[in-house]
Structure 1
Amino acid sequence: MSGDPHPPAGAGLPPFTVSSHTLRALASTEPSAEGTRLVRDVRRSKRLLLLRAVLDAAPGAETADHWALLEEAERHDPDAARDVLHYPATGVWAEETLRRLHDPHGPAPDLGHLGALAAAAALRSGITFKTTLRPVHGRLVLPTLGLLRPDRPGPLAVTERSWETAVDAVPLHGLPGGRTALDDLDPYRAPSGPPAPVRPARRLTPKGHKRWDTQWSGALTLLRRYDAGRADEMGRLLRSVVPLAGGSRSSGATLPAAAGSVLARTQAPPALAATLVHEVQHGKLTALADVLTLHTADRTPCHWAPWRSDPRPLDGLLHGAYAHLALAGYWQRAALYGARGAWARHARVRAQVAAVLPALHGHPRLTPTGREFTDGMAAAERAMDELLPPGNQYATARRALERERRAWCENHPELTDFAEG
């Protein structure tokens, strides 16, 4: 099927033609120029479609004025304006606003935030402007820039000099070595309200920022040493990291509304590097699924996933296998550089992926495109045979996993058929 185009998923986005070459490059989880380009193009197209829907659902003079300021900023400095519009938190705001606009019984939409977006774009573009905004709880957040704390309550006139002359401005914290921000300021850095799967941390102290700088620098150093391609991919696809609240059970999370962002808790550099590799894959697969239908299964949790104790729906199983396939490749490369414990981690994670790939590939609700995608995943997993761990570590990991599968089946007898590969 090499070179054959794949049809779009029909989710409202403009048609995207995905060649078999690009599909299989993405399926391998290995970074590629065409895969990265597709992910970024899908995200941008989806964001513009979402913003257009917000504008159509919220006509009015104030909305029109804010949008006109955004357009003026884009004419002067397209990159600056688009960075604000495509910032991950902007997507969370847009989705939440659209839901509220269509729910007359729910909370009022925060249309004033569009003015903050416009002001941020105007400030970054360098144009002369004046707009009036309404701070919330004494704070005015300007996405990608930071926040202003006015010295008096009420509406605030914002001009091209407001940021540089502000006495009490708090800039968004930039992480070392690239354009990724550590976002502990934006009110839309993670979805709010039920169901909220994860909670972002509150604003960090300077000591908290310094700790993140140290851990991030260490993780980036490891990624560049062990897997330069993934380090480069992360720099291109990851615009912000949102610290998770203390006590979070998860080491990381990726939320579809915040495309280009990862939520993560503080952790040692080796663990943070692995978390970033893992979470970036979820973002890639989400973008691909926005334009291609990989399966038609529902959300019934019925499948064994060896990295979790609870049953998973097919989509969750696919996402988990995809992210762990990338981790297996990362740990294999790290092991070749002599990273302590990397061979054992590689063997364990690869065994997990290998255990569920047959069930994934044989699932009756996969589409032909989904089957080709899982074919590509399986080919990438088999290619790891070229560099097996020393001794019998991989075989040992597979035997241990088989024992875990049998135990899971005993605890979920009604789902035994879904644990067979």
Structure 2
Amino acid sequence: MAGESAISADLSFHQLSASGVRALALGEGDSDVVDELLAAERSRRLLMLRALDDGLSRSGPALGSGAAVSPDEAWALLERVQKQSPEVFDDVLMCPHTGMWLSLALRRLRGTSYEDAPLWVVTGHLSALAAAAGARAGLDFSMTVPVRRGVVPLPTLGCAVVEASEPWSTAQVICGDGALRVLGARGEVAVPADRQESGPGWHAVRRVALGSKSHAKRLVLEELDPYRTFPRPSEPTLMTAAEEASWRKLLADAWGILLRDDAESADAMRPGLMSLAPVSARERFRPYSGTAGDAFGSVTASHPDDAAQLAATLVHEFQHTKLGGLMHLEALTRQAPDQDQTGPEELFYAPWRDDPRPLGGLLQGIYAFAGVARFWRVHRHAADAAYAPLAHFEFALWRTQVWSTLHLVAGHERLTPLGRSVIEALRERCAEWMADEVPDRELELAGEAAADHRARWRAHHLRPPAAAVDEAVRAWQRGESRPPAALEAEPELVPDPEGRHFDVTAILARYRVSEPEGAWRRTAALAGGVKGVDPGDVLLARGDLAGARHAYAAQLSGEGGSVAAWVGLGRALAAGQDAAARLLCRYPERARAVQDALRAGTGHGADPARLAEWLGRGGTTER
């Protein structure tokens, strides 16, 4: 094949240094550790290119109408680039979105589709990569590349917009005498001489320079590459001038915060964090962010509330990046001995998610939020007086959630030796944090938020044994003094796809500490601006227990009430009805199941508080 040398060069056995493994196990690691991960990732990408070549050779005519997009020509151009400008070759190879595309293309060749583009368009992205690399290397060439809904992506450079009558077609990329042109079926786009500048029909990649001198960091604001999003590609989404300016300022401020409060993470991000794909702002205190293991160095993030939140988000996502790189070298978990490839996977409670998570996903969350806790631990002492309460709350919440989840998985039989090392190292570090002092108010709010999230999760996803529920219904109807002991048996995990927004108590706590007398106190449900918040939740946050009890009971007495209202009722009852409150805060799934069964059998349910008080007379051993 034409690209044989490009694919086979520099493949070697990779092994992290002992100090690197230890640093990563603790959730840490500087630029030297990241350089080790990047070296391994480079070899992985080369192996994926080799696998792609093998797959393309087997596909042959199956590539269909895109035969004009020649993989052989792409391999040949990439080989020329590697020989004449190896730094350009590596830059294109190590672009995060190259990794994402390689992964999706290989899966597509194996029969799994993540988009509606024809196979030849997906695999033809290789030609777009080759054209971008060739242009950056200053080579003369002509290359046929795919057109995706009128867009010709040239990764790491930008994209050209051409007229197209069909969603999938081809264009010619021509580079000669220093000029770069894109010829579509109905016209030509001339790329500006300074390819970092946009022009008619041409959108250049936006780059941000952060810091200066030894603290300098360059980052791509990626809005063009189709493979910047996952699990499926997307079309370009251009920022407005105001959005770009806002992102530039927030990133500069966040970088300054990281340099001051988490210098090691900033040092690691300098080589390892390569691009950020912005998306629209979400609700306040609910930023969206994501990474993919195949896109090492890329982060997708919504417009943040402030620079500190963005700094925490970057730490969070870069933790995923580091752990993903480590897992490419050695697994943290093994398949359960009694589980075949099609059997059900064991699922766990994750205090940062609404859905039950598999062990691998849980470890990712532990690792990411350990980094978040580490960041807030320091930042709370550096933040200004008005922001410090929120930072104290974030630290208290996430150290609690990480600590409890570490205990949940410690010693699990499916952990590999490396997995056990990571968990034990993080427990060692988190134990130090648990001894740190936090102001009483923020500590209490964090405890309430953690307990509420867990209780809401239980109410949605756990089901007591059906026979025990039926027995409890009969006992209630007979007027017995206490529920049957069978109701205390281990509940079954039945994922509820309707479970959403279990973080509402944490969201309200953030409002409480950042705006103690804010407008949120004067509206029944934050004017509908916070998903999942019911009027009872706001009344409870305001300290109106009687009003909250009435609101929750009204919901639960009718049909279609919020499942989480059982938990809210428990918290609202805490001051006067200890048995009911304890039951609803620890085992809300029992009240939900019995009430549902009563309503199904008789057409109406019991008084929620009375039912909870009766159920509370049974055992309440923590499970």
TM-score of the two chains, using structure 2 as the length reference: 0.59
Cα gap change, 1:250/1:311 in structure 2, threshold over 3 Å: closer, same or farther? farther
| Offset from partner CA, 1:347-376 (integer Å, 9 cap, x none) | 111111111111221212112221111111
| Offset from partner CA, 1:192-212 (integer Å, 9 cap, x none) | 55xx9xx78722222322222
| Offset from partner CA, 1:123-163 (integer Å, 9 cap, x none) | 21223333343533333211111112358996324104113
- Distance in 1, matches of 2:231 and 2:416, equals 34
Matched, 1:331 2:347: no
The two structures, once aligned, show a CA RMSD in angstroms of: 3.2
**Secondary structure in structure 2 of the residue aligned to 1:204:** coil
Look up the match of 2:81. 73
Matched, 1:293 2:338: no
Which fold has the larger relative contact order, with Cα–Cα distance below 8 Å and residues 6 or more apart in sequence?
1
- Distance in 1, matches of 2:43 and 2:96, equals 14
Cα gap change, 1:280/1:92 in structure 2, threshold over 3 Å: closer, same or farther? same
Look up the match of 2:220. 181
| Offset from partner CA, 1:260-313 (integer Å, 9 cap, x none) | 111111112121111111011111111111221211246736212222232211
Q: Which amino acid aligns with 1:330?
A: F
Look up the match of 2:321. 283
Look up the match of 1:63. 71
| Offset from partner CA, 1:384-418 (integer Å, 9 cap, x none) | 35743355855774576356545644552567699
Look up the match of 2:303. 266
- Distance in 2, matches of 1:338 and 1:183, equals 30
- Distance in 1, matches of 2:282 and 2:138, equals 42
Range with bigger deviation, 14-23 or 118-127: 14-23
- Distance in 2, matches of 1:208 and 1:170, equals 16
| Offset from partner CA, 1:211-230 (integer Å, 9 cap, x none) | 22122222212212222221
Does the 8 Å contact 1:140/1:149 carry over to 2?
yes
Q: Which amino acid aligns with 1:126?
A: G
Match of 1:46 among 40, 44, 61: 44
Aligned residue pairs total 405
Cα gap change, 1:410/1:157 in structure 2, threshold over 3 Å: closer, same or farther? closer
Match of 1:322 among 356, 367, 383: 367
Shift of 1:27: 1.5
Shift of 1:29: 1.4
- Distance in 2, matches of 1:201 and 1:356, equals 39
Matched, 1:217 2:245: no
Q: Which amino acid aligns with 1:139?
A: V
Look up the match of 1:16. 14
Q: Which one has the largest radius of gyration?
A: 2
- Distance in 1, matches of 2:56 and 2:444, equals 59
Q: Which amino acid aligns with 1:101?
A: L
Q: Which amino acid aligns with 1:320?
A: G
- Distance in 2, matches of 1:395 and 1:35, equals 38
Look up the match of 1:384. 433
Gaps of 5+ in 2: 1-10, 61-68, 181-190, 194-198, 211-216, 337-343, 465-489, 494-585, 587-621
Look up the match of 2:560. none
Shift of 1:34: 4.4
Match of 1:356 among 382, 405, 427: 405
Shift of 1:33: 4.2
TM-score of the two chains, using structure 1 as the length reference: 0.85
Give me the identity figure in percent. 33
- Distance in 2, matches of 1:217 and 1:186, equals 23
Does the 8 Å contact 1:150/1:156 carry over to 2?
no
Range with bigger deviation, 250-259 or 164-173: 164-173
**Secondary structure in structure 2 of the residue aligned to 1:210:** helix
Matched, 1:131 2:114: no
- Distance in 1, matches of 2:287 and 2:383, equals 27
Gaps of 5+ in 1: 1-12
Matched, 1:161 2:206: no
Look up the match of 1:170. 203
Match of 1:98 among 102, 106, 112: 106
Does the 8 Å contact 2:159/2:202 carry over to 1?
yes
